[in-house]
């Protein structure tokens, strides 16, 4: 494994990305999985899904700087948490990379996506017409910045009962080719909450994160 990005966002929050270079067996050897976690592995699809799950846990161990077993279950909505550590966490993975965002006391969300022109075919499924009017619809990178922003906020708020299309609105913003920020308004339970989401181009990927 190679740590290719480690960034302290603020005094309470950090993000990290690993490039996955190990096999599943090599990653398992780095971990101390309990019976429940070991029983989960055969249920995962072979290949990338297993590697992503294992790599995320290996990266978590690296960030927590411990050799002790790490209990990292998920709640009823699939949101991971650390009952034995004072951190909120969010996982992401895409092809050869696994990423984590960790924050003390603050909920957080992170998303990493390989940039591909397929997003042009699905933009109306996650962006309202009013949102598309405010951006360059042919700018694939800008569309991915929007997708990653929505995915990051989706993870932050716990995933339950939220639609990218119906519950999230991205305000018009000028896209920066390397990194920048945008404002996303989450509409949920009769309230509207604005979030500042940061995005940046990472090799051929787009990274988005929020606290």
Do 32 and 125 share a domain, yes or no?
no
Domain stop point among 103, 125, 151: 103
Q: Are residues 203 and 121 in the same domain?
A: yes
Give me the pLDDT at residue 47, please.
65
- Cβ atoms of 153 and 210 closer than 8 Å: yes
Residue range of the domain that includes 63: 2-103
Q: Which of 103, 127, 154 is the last residue of a domain?
A: 103
- Are 87 and 36 found together in one domain? yes
8 A C-beta contact, residue 178 and residue 136: no
- Same domain for 12 and 99, yes or no, is yes
Residues 7 and 99 in one domain: yes
CA distance 134 to 200: 19
Name which residue leads in pLDDT, 16 or 3: 16
CATH number of the structural domain spanning residue 75: 3.90.470.20
- Shared domain for 82 and 156, answered yes or no, is no
Q: What are phi and psi of 135, to 5 degrees?
A: -135, 170
Q: Specify which residues 7 forms β-bridges with.
A: 15
Claim to verify: residue 95 and residue 127 sit in the same structural domain = no
For the segment 76-90, what is each residue's pLDDT rounded down to a tens digit?
888 999 999 999 999
How many distinct structural domains can be found in the chain? 2
CATH number at residue 183: 3.10.450.630
**Same domain assignment for residues 154 and 88:** no
What six digits make up the tokens of 5? Answer: 């990005």
Question: What is the share, in percent, of the chain residues with pLDDT greater than 70?
Answer: 98
Q: What is the pLDDT of residues 190-205, one digit of tens each?
A: 999 999 999 999 899 9
Least confident of 67-76, 83-92, 171-180, 198-207: 67-76
What pLDDT, on the 0 to 100 scale, is given for residue 69?
A: 86
Query: Tokens representing 174?
Result: 């000028």
Q: Answer yes or no: is pLDDT of 175 > 90.
A: yes
Burial zone of 208 (CB within 10 Å; 0-12 exposed, 13-18 middle, 19+ buried): buried
Do both 151 and 62 map to the same domain? no
Q: Is residue 93 predicted with pLDDT exceeding 80?
A: yes
Angle, CA of 155, 202 and 115, to the nearest 5°: 75
Instruction: For the chain, give the mean pLDDT.
Output: 92
* Domain boundary, last residue among 68, 86, 103: 103
User: Residue 146: its pLDDT value, please?
Assistant: 97
User: Both 68 and 132 in a single domain?
Assistant: no
pLDDT class for 38, splitting at 50, 70, 90? Answer: confident
Per-position b or e across 61-84, b if 16+ CB within 10 A of its CB: bbbbeeeeebebeeeeeebbebee
Does pLDDT of 37 surpass 90?
Answer: no
* Eight-class DSSP state of 172: P
What tens digit of pLDDT does each residue of 99-139 get? 999 999 899 999 999 999 999 999 999 999 999 998 887 89
Residues 81 and 128 in one domain: no
The pTM of the full predicted model, rounded to 2 decimals, is: 0.92
Tokens of 159: 């995933």
* Same-domain status, 80 and 119: no
Sign of CA dihedral 123, 182, 79, 54: positive
User: Is a pLDDT exceeding 80 seen at residue 145?
Assistant: yes
């Amino acid at each position: 494994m190679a740590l290719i990005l480690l960034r302290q966002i603020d005094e309470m929050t950090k993000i990290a990305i690993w490039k996955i270079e190990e096999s599943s067996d090599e990653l398992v050897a780095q971990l101390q999985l309990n019976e429940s976690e070991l029983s989960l592995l055969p249920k995962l699809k072979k290949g990338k899904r297993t590697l992503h799950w294992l790599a995320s846990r290996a990266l978590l161990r690296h960030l927590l700087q411990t050799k002790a077993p790490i209990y990292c279950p998920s709640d009823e909505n699939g949101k991971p948490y650390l009952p034995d550590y004072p951190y909120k966490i969010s996982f992401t993975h895409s092809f050869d990379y696994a990423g984590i965002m960790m924050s003390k006391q603050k909920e957080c969300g992170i998303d990493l996506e390989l940039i591909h022109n397929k997003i042009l075919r699905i933009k109306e499924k996650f962006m309202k017409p009013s949102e598309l009017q405010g951006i360059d619809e042919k700018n694939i990178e800008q569309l991915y910045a929007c997708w990653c922003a929505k995915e990051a906020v989706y993870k932050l708020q716990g995933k339950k009962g939220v639609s990218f299309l119906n519950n999230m609105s991205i305000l018009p913003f000028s896209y920066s080719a390397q990194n920048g920020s945008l404002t996303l308004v989450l509409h949920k339970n009769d309230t509207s909450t604005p979030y500042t989401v940061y995005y940046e181009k990472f090799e051929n990927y787009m990274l988005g994160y929020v606290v």
